């Protein structure tokens, strides 16, 4: 299956340096003929290449704010991390009223749906002790990573859609009831902190059809909100519908906090996430109820579509939470069907060398031989991140051993 | 082409930060070779336990992994103190790990039992004062 990827390359800006190939956690990028190429099957939309690219050639796609013109009634779904972009916010209403002032007809906080997911997660973990430890599925990058690389952990994934999906469905329902408009005239627009969530809303795992109509970036909305945050006639309306548990989801550890258990770990930053998954697969740690994983450092506040420094944003979000009640959304003991995946997530070994075991076996033998021949400097000059990655590219028929400048030099030396 | 892939790893003693590197490398290779996930899991867990044992008890050693089309064989050889009583060592919860190792979270007495549990065949050859060689097989 080919995925929609928000993360992409503007090759006109690419200088063909090797920063991105070295940084990519799934070794999804090569430099060929002086330009980077992203192997779509390997890419998990984590955004690391966007962070590292000195030429801004790696970018994220998302919808333009003009998408608001396509709908008669527009509902904004702000991610909790949006609140953390501004200074001195002690009431999320300041941000939510500004969203209305900039042109949205209503707002539905993703944090509100997150509280419902927290309650359902609590119930689910309690009712399924055999599945422990459960791995959080709110970060789409983590879900894609597990799907491609950790077959033995798929059964541990918490089978819930990310809160934004539930928020979209509930927001649409509310808007239809309030306005009497048909679904297609209502635009449910998510304000996202990262490209992975853009990709997930366009083509998510576990979900057949997203209820999110468009995804815009926090960094695009940010400058539009600023002028509306000083004074607002509409200071009476209270849009805030969530508490500390929901808003806390923006920070690493927030989702786990909503589970009200001490038996958890929360890891953030893609390299740390991979390490936890590797160790978890090897059963290196004892009994835990829950594993919260966020691809970005600091959690969603660390997403590449944010404006504020992730750790400053974390502090701001904590400060905002201080004044909120614990939670304001409850499920009354019943699961909401929309919260669950529509279909199971299946292991998709995209990193395999050949189609069958026999073919991969032969290719792995060749990889071992090639690795012994290559210099082992991992210099990246061939366009692959490591000598081993080059060897794998060679057996896949995507590169040649002469792409290695050291092998080539020796070849010429021997000719003379 | 040969009909087996042979991988060798040196395990250094007393270095917990590096323990698990060998099993992790093997796991990565097996996944790239379309080996069924269940077999990968069995190899990863049994080999990691063996690797940790070499670090804790034997000041390291050498691991040889042989992958053929129907079997993964792991040979873990050390020049450690040897195992005095294999039956006792095989009991879940029995451990000779010193306190300083236990405070690190290791030494729960599950090493050999887990190796046995997760491998399809296991053979232990040991001699006091000479060393131990554990051979484990996981069939594909």
Same domain, yes or no: A53 and A83: no
Q: Which of residues 111-140 of A touch B (CB under 8 A)?
A: none
Cα–Cα distances in Å, from A225 out to A157, A194, A230?
36, 18, 10
- Is A409 part of any domain? yes
Q: Touching check for B138 and chain A: CB below 8 Å?
A: no
Q: What is the pLDDT of residues A233-283, one digit of tens each?
A: 656 789 999 999 999 999 999 999 999 999 999 999 999 999 999 999 988
Q: How far apart are CA A352 and CA A160, in angstroms?
A: 28
Other CB atoms within a 10 A radius of the CB of residue A66 amount to 9
Using CB atoms, pick whichever of B29, B32, B41 lies closest to residue A152.
B41
Most confident of A87-91, A403-407, B19-23, B105-109: A403-407
Residues in chain B with CB shorter than 8 Å from the CB of A149 are 31
Q: Cβ of B34 and A281 within 8 Å?
A: no
Q: How far apart are CA A141 and CA A29, in angstroms?
A: 16
Same domain, yes or no: A57 and A99: no
pLDDT for B100 equals 77
Same domain, yes or no: A246 and A367: no
Same domain, yes or no: A183 and A200: yes
Q: How far is B69 from chain A (nearest CA, A)?
A: 7
- Is A106 part of any domain? yes
User: Over 80: is that where the pLDDT of A286 sits?
Assistant: no
Same domain, yes or no: A298 and A356: no
Is the Cα torsion angle A223, A227, A230, A233 positive or negative in sign? Answer: negative
Q: What is the pLDDT of residues B43-60, one digit of tens each?
A: 999 999 999 999 988 999
Name the residue with higher pLDDT: B93 or A179.
A179
Q: Touching check for A356 and chain B: CB below 8 Å?
A: yes
Residues in chain A with CB shorter than 8 Å from the CB of B38 are 152
Q: Touching check for A371 and chain B: CB below 8 Å?
A: no
Name the residue with higher pLDDT: B135 or B2.
B135
User: Over 70: is that where the pLDDT of A180 sits?
Assistant: yes
- Is A217 part of any domain? yes
Same domain, yes or no: A92 and A225: yes
- Is A42 part of any domain? yes
pLDDT for B95 equals 84
Q: Touching check for A281 and chain B: CB below 8 Å?
A: yes
In this structure, what is the dihedral angle of CA atoms A245, A247, A249, A251, given to the nearest 10 degrees? -120
The percentage of residues in chain A with a pLDDT greater than 90, rounded to a whole number, is: 93
Same domain, yes or no: A265 and A369: no
Q: How far apart are CA A53 and CA A19, in angstroms?
A: 6
Residue where a domain stops, chosen among A292, A312, A339:
A339
Q: Cβ of A364 and B5 within 8 Å?
A: yes
pLDDT for A227 equals 92
Task: Lowest mean pLDDT of A58-62, A136-140, A206-210, name the range.
Answer: A206-210
Beta bridge partners of B66: B6, B73
Residues in chain A with CB shorter than 8 Å from the CB of B50 are none
- Is A345 part of any domain? no
Q: Cβ of B45 and A283 within 8 Å?
A: yes
Give how many domains chain A has, as a whole number: 3
User: Over 80: is that where the pLDDT of A60 sits?
Assistant: yes
Candidates A340, A342, A368, A364; CA nearest to A353 is A364
Probe site for chain A from B31, B48, B68, B111 (most A CB atoms < 10 A): B31
User: Over 70: is that where the pLDDT of A222 sits?
Assistant: yes
Token pair for residue A144? 């894609």
- B2 pLDDT band, cuts 50/70/90, is low
- B18 pLDDT band, cuts 50/70/90, is confident
Q: How far apart are CA A141 and CA A187, in angstroms?
A: 25
Q: Cβ of B69 and A368 within 8 Å?
A: no
Residue in chain A nearest B32 by alpha carbon: A352
- A231 pLDDT band, cuts 50/70/90, is low
Q: Which domain holds residue A57?
A: 1-61
- Is A318 part of any domain? yes
Tell me which residue has tokens 């309030």. Answer: A178
User: Over 90: is that where the pLDDT of A14 sits?
Assistant: yes
Probe site for chain A from B3, B21, B22, B34 (most A CB atoms < 10 A): B34
Token pair for residue A21? 């190939």
Probe site for chain A from B32, B42, B50 (most A CB atoms < 10 A): B32
Beta bridge partners of B138: B72
Residue in chain B nearest A372 by alpha carbon: B7
Same domain, yes or no: A374 and A412: yes
Candidates A281, A263, A295, A244; CA nearest to A125 is A263
- B107 pLDDT band, cuts 50/70/90, is confident
Q: How far apart are CA A175 and CA A107, in angstroms?
A: 10
Residues in chain B with CB shorter than 8 Å from the CB of A364 are 5, 29, 32-33, 67
Scored b (16 or more CB within 10 A) or e, B77-102 reads: bbebbbbeeeeebbeeeebebeeebe
pLDDT for A341 equals 96
Same domain, yes or no: A267 and A390: no
Q: Cβ of A360 and B34 within 8 Å?
A: yes
Mean pLDDT, rounded, of chain A = 95
Same domain, yes or no: A259 and A182: yes
Q: Write a three-state SS string for chain A.
A: CCCCCCEEECCCCCCCCCHHHHHCCCCCEEEECCEEEECCCCCCCCCHHHHHCCCCCEEECCCCHHHHHHCCEEEEEECHHHHCCCCCCCCCHHHHHHHHHCCCCEECCHHHHHHHHHHHHHHHHHHCHHHCCEECCCCHHHHHHHHHHCHHHHHHECCECCHHHHHHHHHHHHHHHHHCCCHHHEEEEEEECCHHHHHHHHCCCCCCCCCCCEEEEHHHHHHHHHHHHCCCCCCCCCCCCCCHHHHHCCCCCHHHHCCCCCCEEEEECHHHHHHHHHHHHCCCCCCCCEEEEECCCCCHHHCCCCCCCHHHHHHHHHHHHHCCCCCCCCCCCCCCHHHECCCCCCCCCCCCCCCCHHHHHHHHHHHHHHHHHCCCCCCCCCCCCCHHHHHHHHHCCCCCHHHCHHHHHHHHHHHC
Same domain, yes or no: A163 and A217: yes
Tell me which residue has tokens 């209270």. Answer: A238
- A15 pLDDT band, cuts 50/70/90, is very high
Q: What is the pLDDT of residues A288-308, one digit of tens each?
A: 999 999 999 999 999 999 999
ipTM value = 0.89
- A1 pLDDT band, cuts 50/70/90, is low
Cα–Cα distances in Å, from B33 out to B5, B110, B118?
11, 29, 20
Q: Touching check for B38 and chain A: CB below 8 Å?
A: yes
pLDDT for A325 equals 95
A-B CB pairs within 8 A amount to 66
In CATH terms, is domain B5-139 a member of 3.30.565.10? yes
Parse chain B into domains and list their residue ranges.
5-139
Residue where a domain stops, chosen among A14, A30, A61:
A61
Side by side, which strands form the sheet with A186-192? A106-107, A73-78, A186-192, A214-217
Residue where a domain stops, chosen among A61, A81, A99:
A61
Name the residue with higher pLDDT: A9 or B103.
A9
Q: How far apart are CA B72 and CA A387, in angstroms?
A: 25
Q: Cβ of B32 and A152 within 8 Å?
A: no
Candidates B25, B61, B16; CA nearest to B44 is B25
Q: Cβ of A152 and B67 within 8 Å?
A: no
pLDDT for B111 equals 87
pLDDT for A345 equals 95
- Is A394 part of any domain? yes
User: Over 90: is that where the pLDDT of A285 sits?
Assistant: no
Q: Touching check for B2 and chain A: CB below 8 Å?
A: yes
- Is A48 part of any domain? yes
Q: Cβ of A151 and B23 within 8 Å?
A: no
Q: Cβ of B1 and A362 within 8 Å?
A: yes
Cis bond upstream, residue A133 (ω within 30): yes
Same domain, yes or no: A136 and A183: yes
pLDDT for A283 equals 85
């Amino acid at each position: 299956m080919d995925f929609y990827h928000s993360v992409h390359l503007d090759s006109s800006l690419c200088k063909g340096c090797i920063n991105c190939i070295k940084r990519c956690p799934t070794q999804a990028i090569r430099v060929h003929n002086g330009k980077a190429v992203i192997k779509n099957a390997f890419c998990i939309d984590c955004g690391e290449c966007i962070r590292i690219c000195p030429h801004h050639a790696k970018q994220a796609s998302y919808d333009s704010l003009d998408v608001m013109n396509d709908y008669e009634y527009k509902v904004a779904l702000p991610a909790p991390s949006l609140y953390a972009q501004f200074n001195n916010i002690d009431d999320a209403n300041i941000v939510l009223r500004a969203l209305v002032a900039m042109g949205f007809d209503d707002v539905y906080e993703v944090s509100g749906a997150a509280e419902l997911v927290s309650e359902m997660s609590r119930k689910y973990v309690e009712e399924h002790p055999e599945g422990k430890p459960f791995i959080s599925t709110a970060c789409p990058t983590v879900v894609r990573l597990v799907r491609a690389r950790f077959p033995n952990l798929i059964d541990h994934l918490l089978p819930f859609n990310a809160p934004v999906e539930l928020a979209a469905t509930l927001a649409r329902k509310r808007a239809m009831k309030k306005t009497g408009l048909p679904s297609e005239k209502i635009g449910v627009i998510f304000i996202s902190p990262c490209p992975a969530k853009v990709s997930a809303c366009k083509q998510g795992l576990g979900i057949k059809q997203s209820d999110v109509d468009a995804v815009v970036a926090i960094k695009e909305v940010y400058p539009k909100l600023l002028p509306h945050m000083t004074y607002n006639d509409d200071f009476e309306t209270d849009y805030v519908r969530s508490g500390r548990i929901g808003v806390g989801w923006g920070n690493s550890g927030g989702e786990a906090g909503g589970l009200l258990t001490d038996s958890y770990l929360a890891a953030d930053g893609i390299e740390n996430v991979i390490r936890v998954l590797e160790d978890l697969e090897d059963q290196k740690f004892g009994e835990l109820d829950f594993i919260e994983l966020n691809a970005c450092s600091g959690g969603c506040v660390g997403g590449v579509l944010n404006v504020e420094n992730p750790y400053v944003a974390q502090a701001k979000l904590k400060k905002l939470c201080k004044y909120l009640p614990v939670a304001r959304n409850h499920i009354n003991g019943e699961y909401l069907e929309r919260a669950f995946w529509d279909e199971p997530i299946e292991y998709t070994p995209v990193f395999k060398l050949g189609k069958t075991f026999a073919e991969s076996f032969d290719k792995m033998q060749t990889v071992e031989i090639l690795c012994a021949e290559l210099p082992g400097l991992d210099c990246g000059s061939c366009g692959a991140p490591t000598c081993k990655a080059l060897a794998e590219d060679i057996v896949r028929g995507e590169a040649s051993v002469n792409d290695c400048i050291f092998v080539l030099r020796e070849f010429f030396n021997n000719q003379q | 082409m040969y009909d087996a892939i042979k991988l060798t790893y040196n395990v250094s003693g007393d270095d917990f930060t590096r323990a698990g590197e060998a099993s992790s490398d093997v796991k990565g290779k097996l996944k790239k070779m379309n080996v069924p996930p269940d077999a990968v899991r069995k190899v990863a867990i049994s080999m990691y336990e063996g690797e940790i044992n070499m670090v804790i008890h034997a000041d390291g050693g050498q691991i040889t992994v042989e992958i053929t089309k129907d079997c993964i064989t792991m040979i873990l050889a050390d020049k450690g103190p040897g195992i005095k009583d294999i039956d006792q060592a095989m009991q879940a919860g029995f451990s000779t790990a010193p306190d300083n190792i236990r405070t690190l979270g290791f030494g729960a007495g599950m090493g050999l039992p887990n190796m046995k549990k997760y491998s399809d065949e296991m053979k232990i050859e040991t001699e006091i004062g000479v060393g131990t060689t554990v051979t484990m097989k996981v069939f594909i």
